[in-house]
Structure 1
Amino acid sequence: MVKQEKVKVKPLPATIIPPTSWVKYFKEWHGLKFPVITCRPLGRLGNLMGEYATMYSLKRHYNVSVVMNSEFKSRIKHIFLNTSLPDIPASAGPFQLQDWTPVQNIGSLYNYAPIELAAAGLLGPKKFIMKEYAFEMQMFHQFREELKKEFTFAPNYTNKVNEFLSNIMKNRSSQLPDPVFVGFHIRRTDYKKFVKNKFGGHLPGTSYFTRALTHYRTKYPDAAVFVVASDDLQYARAELQQYQDVYFSQGFSAGQDMALLSSCNHSIITLGSFGFWTAYLAGGEVVYADVTTKHDYRFSRKSFEKFGLDYFIPLSVD
């Protein structure tokens, strides 16, 4: 198997507005200095994590007041223990969406410059709410280790993960080397149509799966053990159940699958935000599908190299 050469790309700067251009205000809202930023929780778990990471990085880069509203917190609090972004002050009363000024992408799908303008104080002393799936990798990547702590899973998730991986180890022959766990996420269902219609691309299939498995089997002979999770387990089983080194998640919940895959040593991902986060949290090497799309796609070779994710390894899908 031949690994595709990586093109040298100069990573994007983390932020676009230098400190010399920031505007600071003495005006406050319930003890928080303006501007104040929150986020509307859109999408499923992978999107929510991207939105949270973007908020977190805004706070770290711009030293701006960032808070979680009740709607956002209710979507993630049962999964992650250590999220440090504060709640909206109780003195502010119930969260009312109409009281916040929306900021979102402008001009193109992935141009979220307005949220940085807001964080830098250039849009005035207001309360802002991020919309439209903010997922600013170039901003949050330098805080990766901090985000891994932010996304610490609750014990009910980690206990099930430990039980699952322990059972695999018990079932392995003592003659085999210690397992190297490779998380493998396969995104399907609605994403097939979404990628085709929105980006002019296609989901990877059998050829990519075989190539990715071979990559790790070659690198870790008799040690590679693949842990597969998918939003279409029936499809994943049909593709991979013939292999003795492949084990399947029980698919209890998205949170459980995220906890399981992110506990592995290395990763294989297809497309989508969920797979990205399983690999980003896991560490180790990440093999991803080197897809071709007609329009810019966030989880692609162009983006990963532009954002400086050097441990993400492209693999052909053909």
Structure 2
Amino acid sequence: MPNTNHNLLFKAIILALCVISFVHVFLFPLYDINAGRGTVRTYMDFEQSLCTNNIKKRRIWRLGRCPQYGIVTVMQGGRLGNQMWEYASVWALARRTGLEPYVPRCIRIKLDQIFEQLSVPMFDEIGQCQVEISNFVKSLEAWNYTNQSIILQKYSFQHELVLTWVQDIVQEFTIKRKLVEKSQQILHIAIKSSTAKNHTFVGVHVRRTDYIGYLMWKYNAKPADMRFYMSAMNFFERKYRNVVFIVVSDDPVWCWKKFGIKKNIYVTSKHHKNSPALDLAILASCNHSIYDYGTFGQWGAILAGGDTIFHKISHNTSGNFSPMLKNWHTI
């Protein structure tokens, strides 16, 4: 009789273990999307894996609707200019595919400080939903059907799709009123000693500091020299009247030394460093643009509209999408 009881107990334990294994394997699959970042079960976990730094998990107070088909999202990488491209790439791919777009909070938190009402939601709305990592692909080219999801890698640059709807993305990136008002104040300061009227403002973005080493490493190229900037300025002075150049740079001291001889140049951040948000608002408030390289200068020019002169350092830079923007030129 005792042996019978032991056999029944043993069978019960085996049955319990089988049930537990079934639940974990089939009902709650465990995925590790990023080694070292923990197990991904839900979209709230998944959001953590998309960010370069850990973000605080939010408590889900009510269950929301889970995606019926696939989604489009992106991994965080780079600073403001790169993250604007990452956001815009998700926005454009969702429009192209019909999939639902979502961006992680680590990107939205930064962009929400600058722009009025971004339309792409965060993962809060689907945080409790289960993730099927096996259904994710990394590009539009690898995407085959609507139940598949797309996860773009960091530094994604879906320029052809984004610029197809360039006016719409400009509206999407509507800068907050307080930043626009501050940028307008700076433009007024730049012309306070001028007696002319109807000025034409040309934003000039000069990228130096960390980018000089990057240019040599990535492209084996030297930074833009004064010939580029002066040639670009001459282009605008020949084409428009009462031109004022508003220089935004991560090295304003260098710019003041180089450009200070021209009376119609105003270098921002000479005395107090501006935030990237204000620098972007200044560039976007101008009529036309000059920039040397980098995603920040690209977005300043896109948001400003008008004519743009850029420094082409390789076929992989702005030159490969300038044909889509007929008012963009290189020297």
TM class, shorter-length:
0.7 to 0.9
Q: Could you give the per-residue CA deviations for residues 253-274 of structure 1, whole angstroms, max 9, x where no partner exists?
A: 1111011011110111101111
Match of 1:11 in 2: none
Amino acid at match of 2:296: F
* Residues 137 and 149, structure 2, Cα contact 8 Å, conserved in 1: no
Match of 2:267 in 1: 248
The answer on 1:304 being equivalent to 2:321 is yes
Mapped partners of 2:261, 2:135: distance in 1: 53
Structure showing greater relative contact order (alpha-carbon pairs closer than 8 Å, 6 or more residues apart)? 1
Mapped partners of 2:140, 2:253: distance in 1: 40
CA 1:154/1:99 → structure 2, altered by over 3 Å: closer, same or farther? farther
* Residues 72 and 102, structure 2, Cα contact 8 Å, conserved in 1: yes
Mapped partners of 2:109, 2:129: distance in 1: 14
Counterpart pick for 2:160 among 138, 145, 153? 138
Mapped partners of 1:69, 1:129: distance in 2: 11
Mapped partners of 1:231, 1:100: distance in 2: 42
Q: Could you give the per-residue CA deviations for residues 144-190 of structure 1, whole angstroms, max 9, x where no partner exists?
A: 111111111112211211211222343311xx241100000011111
Amino acid at match of 2:200: V
The answer on 1:234 being equivalent to 2:248 is no
* Residues 290 and 314, structure 1, Cα contact 8 Å, conserved in 2: yes
Tell me the secondary structure at the aligned position of residue 170 of structure 1: coil
Match of 1:266 in 2: 288
- Bigger Rg, which one: 2
Match of 1:121 in 2: 145
Match of 1:36 in 2: 71
* Residues 182 and 224, structure 1, Cα contact 8 Å, conserved in 2: yes
Mapped partners of 1:270, 1:100: distance in 2: 41
Mapped partners of 1:66, 1:56: distance in 2: 6
- State the TM-score, normalizing by the size of structure 1: 0.76
Mapped partners of 2:219, 2:317: distance in 1: 10
- State the TM-score, normalizing by the size of structure 2: 0.74
Cα offset, 1:128, TM superposition: 4.1
Mapped partners of 1:279, 1:94: distance in 2: 39
Match of 2:205 in 1: 185
* Residues 206 and 248, structure 2, Cα contact 8 Å, conserved in 1: yes
Structure 2 residue ranges without an equivalent (≥5): 1-63
The answer on 1:151 being equivalent to 2:186 is no
The answer on 1:225 being equivalent to 2:244 is yes
* Residues 289 and 306, structure 2, Cα contact 8 Å, conserved in 1: yes
Tell me the secondary structure at the aligned position of residue 109 of structure 2: helix
* Residues 160 and 321, structure 2, Cα contact 8 Å, conserved in 1: no
Structure 1 residue ranges without an equivalent (≥5): 1-28, 105-113
Cα offset, 1:141, TM superposition: 0.6
Mapped partners of 2:68, 2:253: distance in 1: 51
Amino acid at match of 1:203: P
* Residues 100 and 128, structure 1, Cα contact 8 Å, conserved in 2: no
Match of 1:313 in 2: 329
CA 1:71/1:102 → structure 2, altered by over 3 Å: closer, same or farther? farther
Cα offset, 1:206, TM superposition: 0.8
Mapped partners of 1:225, 1:273: distance in 2: 23
Cα offset, 1:127, TM superposition: 4.8
CA 1:94/1:194 → structure 2, altered by over 3 Å: closer, same or farther? farther
Structure 1 or 2: more helix by fraction: 2
Mapped partners of 1:164, 1:141: distance in 2: 29
Matches within 5 A, 1:277-288: 277-288=299-310
Match of 1:60 in 2: 95
Match of 1:45 in 2: 80
